[in-house]
Amino acid sequence: MRTLFLFFGRLMRHALPLVLAGAFCLGTAAGVQARQVDVLWSADAGVRDAAAEENMPASASAAREKAFEQAVWLEALSMADDGLSDARRELLREFIVPRAMEYVQSYSELGSASSDSGTTLSVDVLVNRRALKDTLRGLGCMRGSAEPVEYMLTIGGASDVWDELGRLQALYNTRVTQNASVAVFLEHRGDMWTGRLDAGGHSRAASGTTLADAWHGIWAQYFSSLAAAQGPHDALVLQVSGWFTPDGVESFDKELSSWDRDFDEAGLAQVSMETAGISARWVLRGASRGALERRLEAALEGKGLSWVLEPDGSL
């Protein structure tokens, strides 16, 4: 932050207005964000047995692993549809938590504190939100709709998969019905499962050693194509004006990074210092304009800031 002030100070000796293109980057909104997690652990079996917390870790390494799982799960919840049922949320947790390390970029242990109930380990976990968001989209957990996707099913080579198929349908929010516009074909041969999903004149195919692999492959392609078809193809430009110090820009930059459920990519394109104050401009791609407008109205109300959200090229 001190470097940024010095940078502004040197430029303020010259003419106004000043344009600082790319003064600093929107790193977290580009897809990575840190989350602090505290995990209680104890090597004493008696302490663990008496603990109210289920499956209390018995070592610092196990506590660290649990911190990773909790951080990734909390990030997933912050991006998934708010309307997920309790049953579907639990199925999502069972899918995400075992894969938590796939989304951990790095971590930092902030310290630990001991008490009669055990040792609390504090960990700052950097989570790849962009990759996690792609996974949630592939699971159909970002569609913003409670209505299941109806499909026709043809399955061959297996007869004892209906329980697993039921769980997959519940997680992905799909339902078998007659005369649906989506058709799914699943087949088991030897050690491999193959899947094909036909919809809208296009076929998506996938294979794997398990039914879940083939299922996820075809449905992830389908849900991603829905998002691409329904989402805006043009970028939006957000301009916010009225700050008096760079601290305000930096603070809002961090807040904007937490809204990435409502856009795919964002970048700080320009910071300008004028006689009326500091303004900043972000370019947002794959954005939900309505959702962003509601967030901006709530976040900036009463702060003396003005904002404009328009298609790229209009500002």
Instruction: Give 74-79's long-range contacts (Cβ < 8 A, gap of 24+).
Output: 74/35, 74/37, 75/33, 75/35, 75/103, 75/127, 75/129, 75/132, 76/132, 76/136, 78/258, 78/261, 79/129, 79/132, 79/133, 79/136, 79/142, 79/260, 79/261
What does the pLDDT look like over 204-225, one tens digit per residue? 999 999 999 999 999 999 998 8
Domain locations in the chain as residue ranges: 2-29+233-311, 32-138, 149-230
Helix (H, G, I), strand (E, B) or coil at 64: helix
Structure-token match 């499962």, residue found: 193
pLDDT band per the 50, 70, 90 thresholds, residue 68: very high
DSSP secondary structure of 168-226: HHHHHTEEE-TT-S-EEEEEEETTEEEEEEEETTEEEEEEESSHHHHHHHHHHHHHHHH
Question: What per-residue confidence (pLDDT) applies to 58?
Answer: 92
Q: How many Cβ atoms are within 10 Å of 177's Cβ, its own excluded?
A: 13
User: pTM above the 0.75 mark?
Assistant: no
Mean pLDDT of the chain: 85
Residue 210 identity (one-letter amino acid): T
Question: What per-residue confidence (pLDDT) applies to 103?
Answer: 96
Question: What per-residue confidence (pLDDT) applies to 46?
Answer: 83
Question: What per-residue confidence (pLDDT) applies to 53?
Answer: 73
Question: What per-residue confidence (pLDDT) applies to 315?
Answer: 55
What does the pLDDT look like over 7-56, one tens digit per residue? 344 333 333 333 343 334 434 444 566 899 999 999 988 888 877 677 89
CATH of 149-230, one of 3.30.70, 1.10.3210, 3.30.160, 2.40.128: 3.30.160
Domain 2-29+233-311 listed as CATH 3.90.1150: no
CB burial of 197-208 (b: ≥16 within 10 Å; e: otherwise) equals bbbeeeebebee
**What is the CATH class of 32-138?**
alpha beta
